[in-house]
Amino acid sequence: MLNVPSQSFPAPRSQQRVASGGRSKVPLKQGRSLMDWIRLTKSGKDLTGLKGRLIEVTEEELKKHNKKDDCWICIRGFVYNVSPYMEYHPGGEDELMRAAGSDGTELFDQVHRWVNYESMLKECLVGRMAIKPAVLKDYREEEKKVLNGMLPKSQVTDTRAKEGPSYPSYDWFQTNSLVTIAIYTKQKGINLDSIIVDHQDDSFRAETIIKDCLYLIHIGLSHEVQEDFSVRVVESVGKIEIVLKKKENTSWDFLGHPLENHNSLIPRKDTGTEIVKPYTPVSGSLLSEFKEPVLPNNKYIYFLIKIYHTGLFTPELDRLQIGDFVSVSSPEGNFKISKFQELEDLFLLAAGTGFTPMVKILNYALTDIPSLRKVKLIFFNKTEDDIIWRSQLEKLAFKDKRLDVEFVLSAPISEWNGKQGHISPALLSEFLKRNLDKSKVLVCICGPVPFTEQGVRLLQDLNFSKNEIHSFTA
């Protein structure tokens, strides 16, 4: 897992940490990465020392907790015990200690304005300050103003004028069960890679990259929504629709209250970004790996990374120089090698870079599964140029008669004699034929989320059981 910003959507519970550019970082000890911190926060360990109790903290009490092993910090009226986080803080312990036992809001805003500390430090929450530093707001009133595009200037921290035909805006709609937040970027060429959505509990946040700025929607939702959501982009007009599912089918009077930097456009240079993005390691080469199963030098990990030129971070990754650092976590995943036991038919459905998990599966299946009779890879891409490792795949299929490869293009630009279109019932029933009625089968599927979801539905319609399907999700 690379510690780099997403080219697609981080999962709803993901951490997206953005910090001001050029901020210095200290080397973290082994086992103290962001992923390790996330793991610790999910372990159920009592990180506050209060066994889950939330308390009201007076200023006097706060001041007492000013040591490394007993360090409380107040951010925007909420008090966190940051001692457990000390060793995980990329800026180092000393940086955190600057706010020990005090209100660190100002310092935090200077350094970490964008960090989603509410979710990051959720398990460290001690409680509220007894006297709240923040002024209470009439949220309903504010919401109306936001929706009317009249949020008072004082509450908006963006430096750009909120006017002119090209300034982004948003609106919301609802049905009985859904809430749609529509972002009008007013820019062509906006794609899924240009947006990060994160929502946790009632806090909803969407960052859209618009040229050299980030447009931020940041709202405390008025009602609860489910964890999963979907996002659509109408590229031709630059409209993004984020569809949230209501927990209860009631009508909402208002969307929610604005949170920090809501409805603002922030220059990107202010915001270095640090986001966890999963990548599946591949082999150095499909063919050599197949010929020589033992890696000549096991100190390399190979990733196949598609650079989205209008994307949030992959262009940055593209600019990395030899000697630059990228944090990599230990591996994660839920694919069990036992699925291959006694396997006879293996079907691989890959779309775009969703091919990456198939690389090692292909290598392993063709070399280590004696029972295997047939492997079929159906590889969906937009154009011929998008087909990753085409010639290696063709050579591999030529060498090993158990392997069939079918390329399917959804938007061929030149003359193309092969299959065209998207994943469909007709295509799957044509290709996914079991060797024998009762042969042991596994279908692996990976690609853009709508592709994978649709594929799994179609496979179930074709009577593949849940055990016979493995879908890879980022």
Q: Please state the closest distance from residue 368 (CB atom) to ligand NAD, in A.
A: 21
Structure tokens at 130: 């007894």
Question: Please, what is the minimum distance in Å from the beta carbon of residue 415 to ligand NAD?
Answer: 17
Told to check if 12 binds ligand NAD by CB under 6 A, we report no
**Near ligand NAD by CB under 6 A: residue from 351, 369, 428, 441:** 351
How far out from the chain centre does Cα 19 lie? 17
Structure token digits, residue 263: 């409805």
Query: Shortest Cβ distance from residue 430 to ligand NAD (Å)?
Result: 16
Q: Indicate the SS3 state at residue 20.
A: coil
Q: Closest CB to ligand NAD among 31 and 450?
A: 450
Considering only residues 123, 142, 158, 386, which one is a binding residue for ligand NAD as defined by CB under 6 A? 386
Residue 369's SS3 state is coil
Footprint of ligand NAD on 435-464 (CB under 6 A)? 446-448, 450-451, 454
Given the rule CB under 6 A, which of 163-171, 174-182, 345-353, 427-435 is the region that contacts ligand NAD?
Answer: 345-353
H/E stretch holding 146 reads helix 139-147
Q: Does residue 77 bind ligand NAD (CB under 6 A)?
A: no
8 contributes a contact to ligand NAD by CB under 6 A: yes
Does residue 354 bind ligand NAD (CB under 6 A)? yes
**Pure H helices in 286-445:** 286-291, 314-318, 356-368, 390-399, 425-431
Count CA atoms within 13 Å of residue 257 on its CB side. 8
Q: How many Å apart are CA 248 and CA 176, to the nearest integer?
A: 9
- Under rule CB under 6 A, residue 315 binds ligand NAD: no
Should residue 84 be labelled a site residue for ligand NAD when binding is judged by CB under 6 A? no
Kindly state whether residue 362 participates in binding ligand NAD, applying the rule CB under 6 A. Answer: no
User: Would you count residue 121 as binding ligand NAD (CB under 6 A)?
Assistant: no
Q: Which one among 360, 382, 419, 434 touches ligand NAD, defined by CB under 6 A?
A: 382
Tell me the residue number closest to ligand NAD, measured at CB. Answer: 352
The conformation of residue 106, written as its DSSP 8-state character, comes to H
Of 192, 233, 187, give the one whose Cα is nearest residue 210: 187
Q: Which of 83, 353, 361, 396 binds ligand NAD (CB under 6 A)?
A: 353
Q: Which is nearer to ligand NAD, 155 or 410 (CB)?
A: 410
# of chain residues touching ligand NAD (CB under 6 A): 25
- Measuring CA to CA, which residue among 219, 223, 303 is closest to residue 261? 219
Q: Which of 181, 358, 423, 459 binds ligand NAD (CB under 6 A)?
A: 423
State whether the Cα torsion 456-461-462-467 is positive or negative.
positive
- Under 8 Å between Cβ of 286 and 178: no
Among candidates 185, 212, 350, which has minimal Cα distance to 271?
212
In terms of Cα–Cα distance, which of 195, 305, 197 is closest to 244?
197
Q: Are strands 374-381 and 403-409 parallel, antiparallel or unpaired?
A: parallel
Kindly list the residues in this chain that would bind ligand NAD in the complex (CB under 6 A): 8, 280, 306, 351-354, 356-357, 380-382, 386, 410, 422-423, 446-448, 450-451, 454, 472-474
